[in-house]
């Protein structure tokens, strides 16, 4: 606290000396947030231009037990290379973060579309006309493929539908409440991105069995597509039983995960 008090006093003294009065500070909801970073002999003061964390897109009202951060979900989709040029599926969609971000990417909807404000809009030199110009509607892309989202849990699926409505992408996603084991969708050349339970926050009785089922379904029902699985449960991932074409290290919060890609062929890849 000592460092932040010194900085606050210095800023207050500056204003008193130059303008004859101290600025008043709302400590619960400040208009201007100043970060102090001290490393060895150097102190850096910076003004936070964003305010509320950028990953909060503003569309999520309902979340399940283990929702993905929206920014991580968008990043996973970009890593998979999917840009809306084929069908997309998340068969364990929870609160719907992956299909919603996919629908926004496919239609070129800016990620901050639903955000109320940025901290820099309260700065003295904020130029509302310039802001209006740079945020003029970007061209919405037409999306002609399908996005499938399903989950075994009815309440999670309901959350996903509510969030999709808020993000104005509900009509771009086909929802189903079903066990992935019984999901029967005809996909070709599609991208499947999913985030199954890891057994960390969500308790799953037979995690290895669940991953084995995922592998079996991918191989037998979804040949001809590309699947990506994010999981921190490295041991369970082995039960998928397919050889990953790529293994990428990603962090889901503090959890070190693998983001594995499986190219699904019928028979053996030559």
Instruction: Tell me which residues touch ligand SAM (CB under 6 A).
Output: 64, 66-68, 91-95, 97-98, 151-153, 156, 179-181, 195-197, 202, 210
Instruction: State how far the Cα of 98 lies from the Cα of 77, in Å rounded to an integer.
Output: 8
User: What are 242's strand-pairing partners?
Assistant: none
Instruction: State how far the Cα of 218 lies from the Cα of 187, in Å rounded to an integer.
Output: 11
Instruction: State how far the Cα of 109 lies from the Cα of 103, in Å rounded to an integer.
Output: 8
Q: Which residue is nearest to ligand SAM (CB)?
A: 94
Instruction: State how far the Cα of 7 lies from the Cα of 35, in Å rounded to an integer.
Output: 10
- Which lies closer to ligand SAM via its Cβ, residue 179 or residue 216? 179
The answer to whether the CB of 261 falls within 8 A of the CB of 246 is yes
- Which lies closer to ligand SAM via its Cβ, residue 91 or residue 215? 91
- Which lies closer to ligand SAM via its Cβ, residue 51 or residue 240? 240
Helix (H, G, I), strand (E, B) or coil at 119: helix
Find the shortest distance in angstroms from Cβ 262 to ligand SAM: 17
- Which lies closer to ligand SAM via its Cβ, residue 68 or residue 167? 68
Find the shortest distance in angstroms from Cβ 178 to ligand SAM: 7
Instruction: State how far the Cα of 247 lies from the Cα of 260, in Å rounded to an integer.
Output: 5
- Which lies closer to ligand SAM via its Cβ, residue 95 or residue 260? 95
Instruction: State how far the Cα of 119 lies from the Cα of 264, in Å rounded to an integer.
Output: 46
């Amino acid at each position: 606290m000592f460092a932040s008090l010194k900085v606050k006093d210095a800023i207050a003294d500056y204003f008193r000396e130059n303008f004859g009065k101290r600025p008043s500070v709302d400590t619960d909801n400040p208009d201007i947030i100043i970060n102090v970073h001290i490393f060895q002999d150097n102190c850096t003061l910076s003004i936070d231009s964003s305010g509320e964390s950028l990953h909060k897109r503003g569309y999520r009202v309902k979340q399940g037990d283990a929702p993905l951060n929206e920014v991580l979900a968008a990043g996973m989709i970009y890593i998979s290379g999917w840009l809306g040029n084929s069908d997309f599926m998340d068969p364990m969609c929870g609160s719907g973060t992956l299909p919603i971000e996919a629908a926004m990417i496919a239609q070129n909807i800016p990620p901050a579309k639903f955000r109320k404000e940025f901290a820099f809009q309260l700065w003295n030199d904020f130029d509302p006309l310039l802001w209006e110009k740079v945020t003029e509607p970007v061209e919405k892309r037409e999306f002609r493929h399908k996005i499938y989202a399903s989950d075994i849990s009815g309440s999670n699926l309901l959350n996903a539908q509510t969030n999709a409505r808020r993000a104005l992408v509900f009509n771009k996603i086909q929802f189903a409440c079903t066990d992935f084991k019984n999901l029967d969708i005809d996909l070709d050349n599609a991208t499947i991105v999913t985030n199954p339970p890891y057994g960390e926050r969500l308790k799953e009785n037979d995690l290895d069995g669940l991953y084995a089922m995922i592998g079996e379904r991918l191989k037998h029902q979804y040949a001809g597509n590309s699947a990506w699985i994010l999981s921190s449960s490295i041991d369970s991932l082995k039960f998928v039983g397919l050889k990953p074409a790529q293994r990428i290290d990603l962090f889901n919060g503090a959890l070190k995960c693998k983001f594995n890609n499986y190219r699904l062929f019928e028979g053996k890849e030559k």
